[in-house]
Amino acid sequence: MLQFVSTRFLRALVTLFIIVTFAFIVLRLAGDPAERFFDPATPQEVVDAFRHEWGLDQPIWVQFYRYIIAVLHGDLGNSMRENRPAMETVLARLPATLWIMVPTLFLKTIIGVAAGMTAALYRNSTFDRLIMSASVFGFTVPAFVLALVLALIFAVQLRWLPSGGYATPYHMILPIATLSIAGAATVARYTRSSMVEVLGRPFVRTAAAKGVRSKQVVTRHVLPNAAIPIVTVFGFMLGNVVGGAVVVESVFSWPGIGRLLVSSVQSRDLAVVQVILLLIGVMMVFSNLFIDLLYGLIDPRMRGGKTQAA
């Protein structure tokens, strides 16, 4: 078990390192900061002094080392637009994003797993077909189309809900609905196929044959075995919610991190973009680590410390 946990931690650290390296590379590829900062008429001495001050005259390895140290200290530069540490700017927007992300994750897991289970248990029924067709739409309809269609129906035509903003709890409904519908469809699909596979295994038949009640067969025998693929999708879905949040926040003028990211790209506020990139990276790595550890908890066979081969 100890080996299992430590290999997972090591993998998470390596992934974090790759993400930080990636951020450093794109930052350097973006060009010499001194050239971006000064106009061409600036005297060479001033530019050189700036370079020296920021360590830009050092070899690239030294710069990389310094960059990592700076990241570890949370020292990621200032937001040009707000003239304060970029980290503060981003953290100020974090609660708004969590307000739509957390309910979304709950909703789509509950709806998705429930729909997928029902579809698997009543395979080839009308309900099953309905769920499966809906789930195809769930991942071929882009988030921005779904968002706009929902806004068109519920905000423009019916006038039941506000089309954008942050004032009341009603404003949360459309963003959460958009993200949950798409997510639940995918979760339902995976839950169904994972359940169908387990339902066909011999131990399920054995359990049913020796007289275990069907409810118990499902909760005791099928669900624990179907849980692994479902948990895997959950990790993958988290990434989708983050990507989808960028679009949905922009459509519904929700003042979260996603909208901040888009507006920072448009105004080239690179420090903020970098903080968001690293923040999401850290979040994804830790949630994947959590899921990996969850595997070990759900399925003792996974504790061997081996990673799944591709």
Binding site for another protein (CB under 8 A): 11, 14-15, 18-19, 22-23, 26-27, 29-30, 136-137, 139-145, 148-149, 151-152, 156, 193, 196-197, 200, 236, 239-240, 242-243, 246-247, 250-251, 261-262, 264-266, 268, 270, 273-274, 276-277, 280-281, 284-285, 288, 310
Shortest distance in whole angstroms from residue 44 CB to another protein: 25
Closer by beta carbon to another protein, 16 or else 115: 16
- Of 32 and 48, nearer to another protein (C-beta) is 32
**How many other C-beta atoms can be found within 10 angstroms of the C-beta atom of residue 233?**
23
Residues 238 and 289: beta-carbon distance below 8 Å: no
Cα 142 to Cα 72: distance, rounded to the nearest angstrom: 36
- Residue with Cβ nearer another protein (9 or 52): 9
Closest Cα partner for 99 from 256, 207, 208, 231? 256
Helix (H, G, I), strand (E, B) or coil at 85: strand
Tokens 């903020």 correspond to 272
Degrees (nearest 5) of the Cα angle 59, 280, 243? 125
Write out the two tokens for 201: 């295994």
Instruction: Choose between 44 and 308: whose C-beta lies nearer to another protein.
Output: 308
Distance CA 14, CA 21 (A): 10
Name the minimum Å distance from CB 227 to another protein.
19
Indicate the residue among 49 and 137 with the shorter CB distance to another protein. 137
> Dihedrals φ, ψ of 76, to 5°?
-120, 25
Question: What is the nearest approach in angstroms of another protein to the Cβ of residue 178?
Answer: 13
What minimum distance in Å lies between the beta carbon of 45 and another protein?
A: 28
Closest CB 213 distance from another protein, rounded Å = 25
